[in-house]
Structure 1
């Protein structure tokens, strides 16, 4: 199930959103920017939904900080502002979508589903060359074989795919795929990559010496 972190300080709106979204998604809610930052460090989410203004800060600053730590989780901003300067600031901060209050719940749902499609967040993700990954069962289907991946292999392959055509460093992998108290060694990461290259082919996961790996 898609995991969403919701930052919204309006109690009435947050209750409405939680009642609606929790029918379809796994939603964690907070009123605080600082708590949202802590939650993002401790957990992995598929989508952020941030209000721009909250009592202890603002969603724009939060997202800029997250992006500075290689966190590229898709983000939708919700706001009462109708001035286009906030729209500009939101996208400059790294936002992927923007919705103004008041809005219909169905509109938010459509935007979420569009994010899922664009970022490969559906249960079965096509990887190209007739390959697909089931993110729930961790089964990788290729034209000739079925591979049963470990959860971490599946998570790493999906991360590389979502950021395809960009070099992903080991530091970025560590910050986004492991908790601080469970960090693997460089050798362990190389072993994971080596196994994934066996499954999908070396031509799809390119080793950029001294920099990292790129999915093509």
Structure 2
């Protein structure tokens, strides 16, 4: 009989390049983008009309909106990889909590697409060739120019954005334990960096 001790079983650590890690990195990037969109949208409509500051604010807002569509496409691709790896090993338990979480996340993904897409609809309806991408390119129109629907498009974009904000609040409440631990880690890291 071998005298070697068998090490206790340890939980396998996820690889830093795993799809799950990529998904969480995308979560942070996209959360920042949507925060900038919501905050920027709130302030830019209150700026003096037809000024260079407001024009640049609109261009930045539209550019970040287009960026989020691209990031969301990539995030959904990564999410499919995570789901495939997770649910091919074992099927989900369709508990009340799982269904609630699934429905909340599905709504979040729908709003993540609807907010920038309704912004594109507003921008295209107002003026053709009006969708910049960080001052380096102008993106082709998806929707035709139609001044008759500009007011409707503006209201649609406004209400979708603020409904999305309400869902973000619900999501934050749902994830409050994680948010509190993230806040603790962030404040501790800031304290350490200020002491060094």
The TM-score with structure 2 as length reference comes to 0.24
Q: Relative to total residues, which structure has the larger strand share, 1 or 2?
A: 1
Work out which structure has the larger RCO, using CA pairs closer than 8 Å and 6 or more positions apart in sequence: 2
The structure that is helix-richer by fraction is 2
Structure 1 or 2, whichever has the larger Rg, is 2
TM-score for both structures, normalised by structure 1: 0.23
